[in-house]
């Protein structure tokens, strides 16, 4: 247990102060850092170029400058990212940023960034909607190669296919260990409560993935060796982009509600797809996007998100689903009415909460989580 606590403390230290952690990472490794906007970017290329990717998932900042460019109905996460580009917060540690135009907001930011944040190189990527066909795999490979050239210019280093294969293996190991961790939460739902679970997963965004994976493997092994915890609270699956601020996660803990599994872009959607073994490394990276499921950012003509959520609820033994919808996130809002009906038809209780990163108080959310927990069987 001592091991478990001290390993968790290391992850918490990193995840609770991202700016400080990124600055330390840069100083300790001497490597350039590349900011990765949300969703499915080829981190392997950054890693293969001898740089380290770090996550850009918004954060707590006062929104002032970005209002000049962004509409009031822009999601709070991207507003925060853009603000920290404009107010030079990112320039203290980052050497460039990568983003892909997944939604209307990100499409605008790709262009806004070029005129408003001129001192930070931007690598903009465009993914196909029809992502599963052979032409899409070829097209994504071409986009990866274009991004690679721009990253090589920042790194001052040419990336070989062998470098990329080695980086791919580092990331596959990270993804496998992360999948194992989310399953182990069921064994220790008290120790790995909603906040701890979040911080352990979040720390990956501010560490060298190889170092992170070694530490996570040690934590997983310690959990496997420990006795299972008795837990009499409720278990939920959370859906959405991400769950923050931390006070919101604390509200789950205070009400004895365990996040037993997730369908979040910030968490499992990042690592739940195991890479295919065949093909070039560019094809393997593209297949991970083609094979992704239950992700509102990626076209799904059959609209199977609801069915996939029902399967996840069964797999994790969840008592209900908490939807943490990022306010003004159109891809999430398009999916919700469809899967809500399907979950309710399957007698799965659903709580819908619209969240913003810069919320001043989470009082009303605490009450809603408490009330929801009381209704669960």
- Name the site residues for ligand SF4 (rule: CB under 6 A): 38, 75, 77-78, 102-103, 105-106, 241, 297, 326, 329-332
Contact 189, 233 (CB under 8 A): yes
- In this complex, which beta carbon is closest to ligand SF4, that of residue 231 or of residue 352? 352
Which of 316, 333, 375 lies closest to 351, judged by CA? 375
Entry field: residues in the chain: 377
Contacts of 65 (CB under 8 A, 6+ apart): 83, 86, 87, 116
Bridge partner residues of 323 (DSSP): 239, 352
Q: What is the dihedral of CA 130, 173, 171, 188, to 10 degrees?
A: 80
- Output 56 or 137, the one with its CB closest to ligand SF4: 56
* Shortest reach from residue 214's CB to ligand SF4, in Å: 31
Smallest distance, ligand SF4 to C-beta of residue 80, A: 11
According to DSSP, residue 161 is labeled H
Identify which of residues 78 and 167 has a Cβ nearer to ligand SF4 in the complex.
Answer: 78
- Give the nearer residue to ligand SF4 in terms of CB position, either 256 or 330: 330
CB of 75 to ligand SF4, least distance (A): 3
Angle between helices 281-290 and 134-155 (to 10 degrees): 120
Closest CB to ligand SF4 among residues 86, 373: 86
What minimum distance in Å lies between the beta carbon of 77 and ligand SF4?
Answer: 5
Q: Which is nearer to ligand SF4, 44 or 335 (CB)?
A: 335
The answer to whether 161 and 281 are in contact (CB under 8 A) is yes
Quick one: 294 or 326, whose CB is closer to ligand SF4?
Answer: 326
Q: For residues 46, 40, 251 and 322, what is the CA-based torsion angle, rounded to 10 degrees?
A: -170
| Nearest Cα to Cα of residue 48 among 135, 182, 162 | 162
Task: State in angstroms the smallest separation of the CB of 109 from ligand SF4.
Answer: 8
Give 21's Cβ-side CA count (13 Å radius).
Answer: 21
The CB-of-347 to ligand SF4 minimum distance in angstroms stands at 29
With vertex at residue 253, the alpha carbon angle to CA 186 and CA 333, rounded to the nearest 5 degrees, is 85
Q: Judged by CB, which is closer to ligand SF4: 40, or 272? A: 40
Chain centroid to Cα 75, Å, comes to: 16
| DSSP class of 122 | E
Write down the least CB distance from residue 120 to ligand SF4, Å.
Answer: 18
Kindly state the smallest distance separating residue 38's Cβ from ligand SF4, in Å.
Answer: 6
Contacts of 375 (CB under 8 A, 6+ apart): 349
Gap between the Cα atoms of 194 and 229, Å rounded? 15
């Amino acid at each position: 247990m001592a091991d478990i606590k001290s390993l968790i403390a290391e992850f918490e230290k990193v995840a609770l102060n991202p700016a400080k952690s990124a600055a330390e990472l840069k100083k300790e490794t001497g490597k350039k850092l590349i900011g990765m906007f949300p969703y499915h970017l080829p981190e392997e290329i950054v890693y293969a170029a001898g740089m380290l990717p770090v996550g850009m998932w918004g954060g707590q900042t006062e929104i002032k400058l970005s209002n000049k460019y962004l509409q009031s109905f822009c999601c709070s996460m991207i507003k925060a990212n853009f603000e920290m580009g404009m107010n030079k917060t990112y320039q203290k540690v980052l050497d460039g940023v990568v983003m892909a135009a997944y939604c209307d907001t990100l499409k605008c930011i790709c262009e806004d960034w070029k005129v408003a944040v001129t001192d930070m190189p931007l690598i903009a990527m465009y993914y196909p909607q029809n992502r599963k066909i052979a032409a899409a795999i070829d097209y994504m490979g071409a986009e990866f190669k274009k991004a690679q050239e721009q990253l090589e210019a920042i790194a001052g280093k040419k990336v070989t296919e062998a470098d990329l294969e080695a980086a791919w293996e580092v990331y596959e190991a990270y993804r496998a260990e992360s999948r194992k961790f989310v399953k182990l939460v069921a064994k220790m739902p008290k120790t790995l409560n909603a906040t701890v679970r979040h911080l352990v997963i979040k720390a990956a965004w501010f560490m060298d993935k190889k170092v992170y994976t070694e530490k996570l493997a040690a934590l997983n092994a310690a959990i496997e060796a420990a006795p299972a915890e008795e837990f009499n609270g409720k278990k939920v699956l959370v859906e959405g982009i991400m769950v923050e601020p931390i006070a919101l996660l604390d509200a789950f803990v205070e009400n004895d509600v365990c996040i037993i599994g997730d369908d979040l872009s910030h968490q499992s959607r990042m690592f739940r797809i195991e890479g295919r073994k065949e093909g070039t490394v560019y094809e393997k990276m593209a297949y991970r996007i083609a094979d992704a499921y239950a992700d509102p950012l990626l076209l799904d003509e059959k609209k199977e998100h609801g069915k996939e959520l029902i399967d996840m609820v069964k797999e994790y033994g969840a008592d209900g689903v908490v939807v943490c919808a990022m306010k003004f996130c159109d891809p999430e809002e398009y999916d919700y009415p469809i899967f809500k009906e399907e979950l309710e038809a399957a007698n799965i209780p659903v709580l819908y909460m619209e969240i913003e990163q810069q919320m001043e108080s989470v009082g009303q959310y605490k009450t809603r989580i408490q009330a929801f927990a009381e209704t669960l069987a």
